[in-house]
Amino acid sequence: MILSTATWTRLRKGWSIQIRVIHALIIRELNTRFGRENIGFLWIVVEPLLFAGLVGIIYRVLRGPEEHGVSVMAFIATGYIPITLFRNSIGRCTAIFIANSSLMYHRQVKILDFVISRLVIELLGSMIAYVFIAAVLMAFGQFPVPADMGLFLAGWALYVLFTWSLCLIIAPLSEMSEVLEKFLPVVTYVMIPFSGLFTMASWLTPDMRRYLLWSPFVNGMEMMRKGIWGDQLTAYWNVWNPLGFSLVFIAIGLALCRHIRKDLAVE
Amino acid sequence: MIVCSDISKSYKHGSVRKQVLRDVNLSIVPGERVALLGRNGAGKSTLIKLIGGVEMPTSGKISRHMSVSWPLGFNGGFQGSLTGYDNARFIARIYDRDYCDIKAFVDDFTEMGRQLKMPVKTYSSGMRARLAFALSLAIEFDCYLIDEVILVGDQNFQRKCHAELFEKRRDRTMILASHSTDIVRDLCTRAIIINNTRATNYEDVGAALDIYSAL
């Protein structure tokens, strides 16, 4: 055995503390954000649902029921749910440390836990929304039975991983520079065309495709859609792209978080 | 045992850097009750925050070999928009305690009744201090970090604190920042004066108080 038993016990203890803290943070966050009134935390589900649903309907009206052989409603939904997850997660992680600094009074709460717990909340909300919207569209014959669930989940996981790695960088950076904080909403908006939301890479010219496939989001999205539609569409992806970008960003993000924790002044 | 070795702390604001503590070395043995003395802004609260792990030292190392409470003071540790009970539940969760036990103790110690169902931001500083004390007493730490608060409460609160902290838990370690010479003289076993970014240790509390009064 490489690790001694003492190290193992310490690791296990640390792990259980971390899980406990994240659990507590999630409940606390849900309480503060949604309160206990009206539909409460269901809002995290309703928001992506409304987004994907309404935009889907608009496209359905503008473009007709099908495009490139797939249902327009379903295509938009599969694009919008991940992008709402991404945009909300980025929005939620700006100025996260100052806003939560009173929790730094408890040593077992690490700043990383904030970033994790918020992403988990967004993740839960968007996954429930995804299942819900897919079920509804399926009932109307607008959504296929996923051809390859494993591929879909792998794409989703990569998409989420990359989103989280970005949050990990943006959270500390937004603390250091106010300019960045102001620019973020614009940037996340401008990047929509590069997220693979409206198009498959195969619908583009080879040149465009080559550039677009540099985007980790596009790779994840292609995998998800291939997983859903299977042979009905052609997809291009490279697993190593989102994986590589995420790992590099996580490394940078962790270093930045460590740096910011050192100077964090708590009232 | 808590050991601070060569800790320094400075705060940066824009291009200005303010040195608050420089090369502080101290070790605190279980059972000691240490007073932190110093003028306003000398760095008492900063040292307490560093020992509590709320903020990180700019350089140096702090090692804790016993469980240390969070700094009990006017603010910190609570989420203002949540109720007293919600905060208690959160703290019970992260410290892995049974919420029912904690709740019972908080009800009894704070005597705040229905106020506990109100958001913490509506509390006075005295009420916050009550809640913070109640929670930290319910969790049971080996070492309590106390920043000033004993003095803010009313008579009843001060009596309770005295009974719970200095009688029932006499064996615990305590680090106490205070301006009250009476409290320090009665309760502390040694004193540290922070002046001009330096911390000086005095085994004789009386002597320390004399020096402190002359600052």
Per-domain residue ranges of chain A: 21-263
Q: Show residues of chain A in contact with B86, CB under 8 Å.
A: 28, 31
How confident is the model over B7-22, as pLDDT tens digits?
999 998 878 899 999 9
Residue B115 has a pLDDT of 92
How confident is the model over A173-182, as pLDDT tens digits?
988 887 887 8
Is residue A18 a contact partner of residue A120, using CB atoms and an 8 Å limit?
Answer: no
Please compute the mean of the pLDDT values over residues A118-135 and round it to a whole number. 91
Same domain, B83 and B177: no
* Cβ-defined contact of A32 to B82 (cutoff 8 Å): yes
Q: Which residue, of B97, B120, B140, is where some domain finishes?
A: B140
pLDDT range class, residue A251, cuts 50, 70, 90 = very high
* Candidates A13, A22, A37, A106, partner chain B, best to mutate (most B CBs within 10 A): A106
Cα dihedral: A31, A32, A37, A39 (round 10) = -70
Same domain, B152 and B127: no
Q: Which residue, of B140, B172, B188, is where some domain finishes?
A: B140
Same domain, B148 and B212: yes
> pLDDT higher for B119 or A38?
B119
Residue A7 has a pLDDT of 86
Same domain, B65 and B103: no
Residue B187 has a pLDDT of 87
Same domain, B150 and B62: yes
Residue B182 has a pLDDT of 86
- Does residue A1 surpass a pLDDT of 60? no
Q: Show residues of chain A in contact with B10, CB under 8 Å.
A: none
How confident is the model over A59-105, as pLDDT tens digits?
888 888 887 888 888 898 899 899 989 988 998 888 888 888 888 99
Same domain, B1 and B65: yes
Rounded Cα–Cα distance for residues B182 and B188 (Å): 10
Identify the closest residue of chain B to A176 by CA–CA distance. B14
How confident is the model over A19-64, as pLDDT tens digits?
999 999 998 888 887 776 667 678 888 888 888 888 888 888 888 8
Residue B98 has a pLDDT of 94
Same domain, B114 and B155: no
Residue B127 has a pLDDT of 87
User: Helix, strand or coil for residue A229?
Assistant: helix
Residues 95-154, chain B, touching A (beta carbon < 8 A): 95-96
Q: Show residues of chain A in contact with B54, CB under 8 Å.
A: 104-105, 107, 266
Residue A30 has a pLDDT of 85
- Does residue B69 surpass a pLDDT of 90? yes
- Does residue B149 surpass a pLDDT of 80? no
Q: Show residues of chain A in contact with B80, CB under 8 Å.
A: 102
Task: Kindly give the pairing relationship between strand B173-177 and strand B33-37.
Answer: parallel
Is residue A129 a contact partner of residue A135, using CB atoms and an 8 Å limit?
Answer: no
CATH number at residue B57: 3.40.50.300
Q: Give the nearest partner residue to B56 out of A21, A106, A262, using CB atoms.
A: A262
Please compute the mean of the pLDDT values over residues A163-188 and round it to a whole number. 87
Please compute the mean of the pLDDT values over residues B153-180 and round it to a whole number. 87
Mean pLDDT of chain A: 88
Q: What region does A230 belong to: left with phi over 0, alpha with psi -120 to 50, or beta?
A: left
Instruction: Give the DSSP letter string of A126-160.
Output: HHHHHHHHHHHHHHTT-SPPPS-HHHHHHHHHHHH
How confident is the model over A142-162, as pLDDT tens digits?
889 999 999 999 999 999 999
* Candidates B90, B97, B98, B123, partner chain A, best to mutate (most A CBs within 10 A): B90
Residue A37 has a pLDDT of 65
Same domain, B176 and B201: yes
Q: How many CB atoms lie within 10 A of CB A54?
A: 12
Same domain, B156 and B55: yes
- The sheet with strand B173-177 has its strands ordered as B143-147, B173-177, B33-37, B190-195, B198-202
* Cβ-defined contact of A102 to B78 (cutoff 8 Å): yes
How confident is the model over A195-239, as pLDDT tens digits?
888 888 888 888 888 888 999 999 999 999 999 999 888 889 999
Domain encompassing residue B8 = 1-69+141-215
Residue A102 has a pLDDT of 85
Same domain, B112 and B213: no
Domain count, chain B: 2
Same domain, B121 and B167: no
Rounded Cα–Cα distance for residues A171 and A162 (Å): 14
Q: Give me the residues paired with residue B165 across strands.
A: none
Identify the closest residue of chain B to A262 by CA–CA distance. B56
Same domain, B135 and B145: no
* Cβ-defined contact of A105 to B81 (cutoff 8 Å): no
Mean pLDDT of chain B: 90
- pTM score, whole prediction: 0.87
Residue A169 has a pLDDT of 92
How confident is the model over A218-228, as pLDDT tens digits?
999 999 999 99
How confident is the model over B47-63, as pLDDT tens digits?
999 999 999 999 999 99
Q: Show residues of chain B in contact with A108, CB under 8 Å.
A: 94-95
Residue A205 has a pLDDT of 87
H-helix or E-strand spanning residue B71: none
Instruction: Give the DSSP letter string of A154-214.
Output: HHHHHHHHHHHHHHHHHHHHHHH-HHHHHHHHHHHHHTGGGGTSS--GGGS-HHHHHHHTT
